[in-house]
Amino acid sequence: MRNRDVRICVLQECTRFLSCPNDGSEVVIDVPEFEAQTFSFPPPETDGFPISSTCTWTFKGEEGSGIIIHVFNMTFEGFDSLSVDNDAEGFGTRTTFEGPLTKESDIRNRISIDSSMKVILTTDNNFNKMERFTVSVISGRDSGTCPGSKTIQATDSFQTITSANFPEGYGLDGDCDVTITADEGMVIVFSFPVLIIDEYRDICRDYLTLSTEKETYYTCLPFRNAINSQTTGNNLRIKFKSDDESDLEKEFGFAVTFKQKAIEECKQNVTGTESGVCDINAVCINTDGSFECECKDGFTGSGFACIASTTMSRKKILLPLYLVWSLGTTVNGAMLLILLYKMAAARNSDIW
């Protein structure tokens, strides 16, 4: 992995905004598997919650998937409330946050073993332009890879690895050690979807390690940021170490999507005689697992070394037809032949 390939998705860049129809109709939001999304309400062009209203949003995942939803940055005044409906055992079917709340008051995560989850905002008749909340949501299902140690062959299509029992808790034995290999001439591109966990912690209960031939990435918070990167070689090792001291401290585990792709040699080898493989007067062309160097127009050679071409210059000794005709009107044929001979001789001495 190279640091310059790692792109971090910060909250402000990833957040979209919810809308609340005036007629109180329900808004359905599709949540594709392993594509985390973050939403805030109200939109920036609106001041505060609508008064005396009920807004309902249903987050719907793919059939057979489960949903994790994280509610935070809640600021409620008066008797405003936010309810989250789900079917997860241990949480009950509804969790309600009631005002007044500041954004530091309460932060909750909810899991639904069903493929949908409903968020309902109920407001009173008081107005406050500072009222708001944010939800982060992801859907997915157990890949069946963890726990244990495995080796997986990457393909040209995306595959997914999750912690055991995802999106629910991974149980007492969550440790996982997976090595992903790609074909020769290929690298592995991978992505960890973001789930905003807005809590500070001073200890690591779980941690994730990514290792390639040269570098290692380590995190206590696999869902803190969206990580999109690629390896420099053709293998990637993922180790997940869970907290084995207390089942009460289990967290979400992890999810990663990956596939193999051909090495883009031209990006890794900057064109230029000193810093790359292609001549400075050549262009680099990616091929399947390799590359080619091709001299630019006006140059010839292997592509690794290019020299200026002289074949086109020889044609320049011919005079345009209109110039020949003009000369012919003022000099006789013998003089014209001598003139052309002199000009050709002068040009040939420059060329050869």
Residue range 105-145, pLDDT digits in tens: 555 556 666 788 889 999 988 888 888 888 888 889 999 99
Q: Where are the domains of the chain?
A: 3-140, 148-262, 265-308, 316-351
Q: Is the pLDDT of residue 341 over 90?
A: no
pTM exceeds cut of 0.85: no
| Sheet of 116-122, strands arranged across | 27-31, 54-61, 116-122, 81-85, 94-98
CATH number for domain 148-262, candidates 2.60.120.290, 3.40.640.10, 2.40.50.180, 3.40.50.300 = 2.60.120.290
> Where is average pLDDT lowest: 174-183, 207-216, 221-230?
221-230
Identify the H or E element spanning 346: helix 333-351
Average of pLDDT values for 165-169?
81
3-class secondary-structure state, position 26: coil
Residues in Cβ contact with 39 at an 8 Å cutoff, skipping those fewer than 6 apart: 15, 16, 17, 18, 29, 57, 134, 135, 136, 137
Query: Cα dist. 95→101, 110, 211 in Å?
Result: 15, 8, 40
CATH 2.60.40, domain 265-308, yes or no: no
- Domain 3-140 class in CATH: mainly beta
Q: How does residue 340 score in pLDDT terms, banded at 50, 70 and 90? A: low
Average of pLDDT values for 240-248?
64
Q: How does residue 342 score in pLDDT terms, banded at 50, 70 and 90? A: low
Q: What does the pLDDT read at residue 75? A: 83
Average of pLDDT values for 183-210?
70
Q: What does the pLDDT read at residue 347? A: 52
Residue range 52-101, pLDDT digits in tens: 999 999 999 988 888 888 888 888 877 888 888 865 444 446 677 777 66
Residue range 13-38, pLDDT digits in tens: 467 899 999 888 999 999 999 888 88
* 3-140 and 265-308 have identical folds: no
Residues listed for the chain: 352
Q: Supply the mean pLDDT for the chain.
A: 74
Q: What does the pLDDT read at residue 53? A: 92
- pLDDT exceeding 90 applies to what percent of the chain? 21
Query: Cα dist. 349→241, 300, 309, 314, 317 in Å?
Result: 77, 22, 17, 11, 12
> Where is average pLDDT lowest: 235-239, 284-288, 297-301?
284-288
Q: Residue 241, Cα to own-chain centre: how many angstroms?
A: 25
Residue range 320-332, pLDDT digits in tens: 444 444 444 555 5
Q: What does the pLDDT read at residue 107? A: 54
